[in-house]
Structure 1
């Protein structure tokens, strides 16, 4: 439980929003999910069962859920009006069509005609209104508001509160009004829709409180590809395929969510007690030679960067910008990815999700070029007067900075060590403000205390440079990091202040349509690359390990690990005995 509490703390402190990233085009599909020998071609067939790990949960009520693994599992049961595609743009799910009007303040939505709840009732506009009313009620209630703040998806008070009102036009048409021109209006409607009739009494009255109070006796009813069968507390959740799903019947008949402690998930996968496991870090290459396993690597929303403290005069004005650019050209990010991340990361200058529709381009501007770094420093007047290899300012101050990061994150400390070596080569001395400690031997208390120290130092400005990360949201808004009003809030801890950036961030938030939003983000990117408040490094890659008997179009994303699960299948010959395909091979330990 302490590990879960630490994770929740980190999510809150670094503004992780549930998030979920898209798949890198050169990582996805059959080329990524591979084994050592050529695989037999199978045709999709119906039947079979897969087991998916779920970390321990307090409740199976989706609105009271703070569990990331249950959120991904429930994507099989529930659907929203919209979801995110591989470009992090919204696409219709339960919506047949929509129209944005009234300068971005109003969305007219027509629902699909052929959608039914798992109990056979039709999806109607009343269900959408009921769901939104429940969320608005929860956002105003202090007890539920705290829960929504930690939700892994778009159900967050700041998103829901922009919904001003909802009018039912008829059974399939609704009009949603927002309190302002709101460019993330569609993105904010990705939460799961709930059936009003499930929470309506004999008098025909529906209750917000009833759904929010159902912690233990909740029965999930959705519109998705799988429907709830039973829940055995702290053991498993069983789902079966929805034969009447509006899209098409899933191939796999049964999905079992096995509730496991996080530290035994991989052990259970190795023993083939579950059919998949999510892995992070650097060590999943050991599965590459395992014939029982396929590896599906994808780009996460976890963004790593080097931030500067703009309270320090040396990082200000024209000379400060030149210094920041020299540092950017002086860091060998590709080397960091190859040697520290074992290739399992994706280089990025910008804190915009990989392959996002809002990006101008995915190419990085500041490629490693130490000669260019030295030339920029020389032109800015930094010289090595003592001939000791460390440059000085025109006033005689050494280019010497401290670098803060969290000691018990070996990926970060190892990256910081490499940055220190890179910058030394261009005449900048960097002193580590961390200890290289064995993360595996650290107690939860040590890890938590260390992270709290990092947060305290960044928010109080007690650093020169900091190596840290954000868990970026699928709902784009960079104001938290770069708007001057967020300096006092602590999320703009680098104290970056650019009036033009402030203006653009507000304009992007209030854009009247999708085209205007993209135009504003194009200008924001240009300023970020010119001002360099961060030296952007990379997005971390994770992987989904899947038992090789599971076939099909497997394409995990950060936002939805089980994207297109209805296309997965298990060949008939492997449905009863998962060992048939790989007789004689050893298990990966």
Structure 2
């Protein structure tokens, strides 16, 4: 039944959905969502330059230079009307859309873009996107509507990078130092250019946005958009079922529960997040690739996908998952317990491990993930690898792995439409403390392929470069790839024009919130 339901609801279809709003909020003109529930959320962290998730709500009041279409296939302009590279690829000229105003009525200017990109580059901001602007040597506001970037080397990935960088108002923030802006109170009453304006923030309760009548695509149909905070995803699902909110991220268990009464509609789609087992490459137990191969061969991934994910996941065999970048001639690592045992013996696993259990660290705490970890624990025990699971929350996970205080993790990584987004996670230059290559991957071949992909502007040639990246990571297993699971959005039954697709970190695509309405 679940499979049929998935087929009947496309990822980014406009869905007719709605419900009565919670007490005290006018249902006829207010959309209430649990925008920060689930892995794409970033609850009550309002600086988007330092965020790695939460963009689906940031995009409601800020804007970016570019955004993807809802299928995450093609980059188009948002604040940028157009852009073009020079013949040598070392100059990128961006023309801004005319008639865009900040929420305080001031016009958008190239100075705002220059200011924002320089803030991202400033080490005191500690922006997660600084590495994406590594080739940007100079930024000029040539006139009010033209931004010119001088590049130290060609970088074809910048339009993709821009989809996550919210543009800020230089006229309001230009005198603030990056270290002060990083955690300034301004973020709790910001001014953007998006379809909704910031109106009210009640800590631990909600943020209320109101329609921006001067939005460049037209005034939104809804008067208010509210992001309501929940202690956990279960509470949000209950509120959705009760008609108190119109949207929430859902787990597979919650989707199955809803099939009994169909209190709301479900949209399913690929998460574009590769789940993987990561190993600390500085740990001598995992340096031999045969050990990493044995781990993958010992896991019956097809059985886990069928029995635990209900078929709602696809296997991954390299760090890339977009079909266009995955060649047919890679090792598919079909389950082979006997071969796994042989490889472990050849690599001297017994001597390396000394029979001690290995801690498997993960920030996935839902019941499905706990069942998956139990399955991994059982399957690896069959070949003499004894796991000791440790479940922590996401804020605790980052500092632990950044400090190298781990041996093995069960994690996930956004696998968006441009593979260059993975460079900070896999290139050797970004190992902690310099970046988020948390598994300490150090492969000259991987480094060279990311650099080649960054510099190549021809789409066909870039595709071949990334196919080779898939081949190399399939052989070297810097991450031990598992699968890409579906994710689910739940919507009440009577809203109109709502567009949603699972996306790593949320946002990054044009969901046209100004067209959303309630019947």
TM over 0.5: yes
Q: Does residue 563 in structure 1 map to residue 511 in structure 2?
A: yes
1:105: Cα distance to partner?
2.8
| Residue equivalent to 1:49 | 30
**Among 372, 397, 416, which residue is 1:415 paired with?**
372
1:278: Cα distance to partner?
1.7
Which SS does the other structure have where 1:180 is aligned? Answer: coil
User: Are the counterparts in 2 of residues 249 and 566 from structure 1 also a CA contact under 8 Å?
Assistant: yes
Which residues of 2 match residues 262-273 of structure 1 at below 5 A?
A: 262=232, 264-273=235-244
Please give the TM-score of this superposition, normalised by the length of structure 1: 0.66
User: Are the counterparts in 1 of residues 318 and 477 from structure 2 also a CA contact under 8 Å?
Assistant: no
1:160: Cα distance to partner?
4.5
- Using a 3 Å threshold, how does the CA distance of structure 1 residues 140 and 47 change in structure 2: closer, same or farther? same
The separation in 1 between residues aligned to 2:286 and 2:60, in whole angstroms, is: 52
- Cα deviation, 1:447-490, whole Å, max 9, x if unaligned, reads 959994997564xxxx6xx4522433657254555555667879
| Residue equivalent to 1:127 | 112
- Using a 3 Å threshold, how does the CA distance of structure 1 residues 173 and 453 change in structure 2: closer, same or farther? closer
User: Are the counterparts in 2 of residues 288 and 294 from structure 1 also a CA contact under 8 Å?
Assistant: no
The count of corresponding residues between Structure 1 and Structure 2 is 485
Q: Unpaired segments of 5 or more residues in structure 2?
A: 18-26
Q: Unpaired segments of 5 or more residues in structure 1?
A: 1-23, 41-45, 150-155, 200-205, 384-390, 572-589
User: Are the counterparts in 2 of residues 98 and 107 from structure 1 also a CA contact under 8 Å?
Assistant: yes
- Using a 3 Å threshold, how does the CA distance of structure 1 residues 258 and 411 change in structure 2: closer, same or farther? closer
| Residue equivalent to 1:227 | 197
- Using a 3 Å threshold, how does the CA distance of structure 1 residues 361 and 89 change in structure 2: closer, same or farther? farther
User: Are the counterparts in 2 of residues 105 and 178 from structure 1 also a CA contact under 8 Å?
Assistant: yes
User: Are the counterparts in 2 of residues 412 and 467 from structure 1 also a CA contact under 8 Å?
Assistant: no
| Residue equivalent to 2:360 | 405
1:537: Cα distance to partner?
0.8
| Residue equivalent to 2:9 | 30
1:356: Cα distance to partner?
6.9
Which SS does the other structure have where 2:225 is aligned? Answer: strand
The separation in 2 between residues aligned to 1:122 and 1:54, in whole angstroms, is: 29
- Cα deviation, 1:59-93, whole Å, max 9, x if unaligned, reads 78645775955x43221121111123433653321
> Which deviates further from its counterpart, 508-517 or 222-231?
508-517
| Residue equivalent to 1:166 | 139
- Using a 3 Å threshold, how does the CA distance of structure 1 residues 269 and 187 change in structure 2: closer, same or farther? same
| Residue equivalent to 1:434 | 388
Q: Does residue 251 in structure 1 map to residue 221 in structure 2?
A: yes
User: Are the counterparts in 2 of residues 60 and 218 from structure 1 also a CA contact under 8 Å?
Assistant: no
Which SS does the other structure have where 1:223 is aligned? Answer: coil
The separation in 1 between residues aligned to 2:184 and 2:262, in whole angstroms, is: 44
- Cα deviation, 1:516-549, whole Å, max 9, x if unaligned, reads 5433212111222234444411124332221112
User: Are the counterparts in 1 of residues 68 and 76 from structure 2 also a CA contact under 8 Å?
Assistant: yes
1:563: Cα distance to partner?
2.5
- Using a 3 Å threshold, how does the CA distance of structure 1 residues 228 and 305 change in structure 2: closer, same or farther? closer
The separation in 2 between residues aligned to 1:471 and 1:392, in whole angstroms, is: 31
1:215: Cα distance to partner?
0.7
**Among 137, 140, 153, which residue is 1:180 paired with?**
153
The separation in 2 between residues aligned to 1:483 and 1:228, in whole angstroms, is: 38
- Cα deviation, 1:311-334, whole Å, max 9, x if unaligned, reads 7699748xx3xx766764553322
1:304: Cα distance to partner?
2.0
The separation in 1 between residues aligned to 2:183 and 2:426, in whole angstroms, is: 39
1:100: Cα distance to partner?
1.5
| Residue equivalent to 1:360 | 326
| Residue equivalent to 1:538 | 483
Which SS does the other structure have where 2:496 is aligned? Answer: coil
1:505: Cα distance to partner?
3.1
User: Are the counterparts in 1 of residues 428 and 441 from structure 2 also a CA contact under 8 Å?
Assistant: yes
User: Are the counterparts in 1 of residues 288 and 347 from structure 2 also a CA contact under 8 Å?
Assistant: no
Please give the TM-score of this superposition, normalised by the length of structure 2: 0.74
The separation in 1 between residues aligned to 2:211 and 2:489, in whole angstroms, is: 22
Which residues of 2 match residues 295-374 of structure 1 at below 5 A?
A: 295-307=266-278, 316=288, 320=290, 328=296, 331-352=299-320, 354-355=321-322, 359-360=325-326, 366=332, 368=334, 370=336
The separation in 2 between residues aligned to 1:522 and 1:274, in whole angstroms, is: 43
- Cα deviation, 1:164-189, whole Å, max 9, x if unaligned, reads 22222333222112333334322332
User: Are the counterparts in 1 of residues 10 and 267 from structure 2 also a CA contact under 8 Å?
Assistant: no
- Using a 3 Å threshold, how does the CA distance of structure 1 residues 89 and 362 change in structure 2: closer, same or farther? farther
The separation in 1 between residues aligned to 2:51 and 2:150, in whole angstroms, is: 28
- Cα deviation, 1:81-129, whole Å, max 9, x if unaligned, reads 1123433653321222211226433211112234333444433323222
The separation in 1 between residues aligned to 2:254 and 2:210, in whole angstroms, is: 34
1:242: Cα distance to partner?
3.5
- Using a 3 Å threshold, how does the CA distance of structure 1 residues 235 and 531 change in structure 2: closer, same or farther? closer
The separation in 1 between residues aligned to 2:398 and 2:103, in whole angstroms, is: 47
1:286: Cα distance to partner?
0.6
| Residue equivalent to 1:239 | 209
- Using a 3 Å threshold, how does the CA distance of structure 1 residues 299 and 309 change in structure 2: closer, same or farther? same
User: Are the counterparts in 2 of residues 101 and 107 from structure 1 also a CA contact under 8 Å?
Assistant: yes
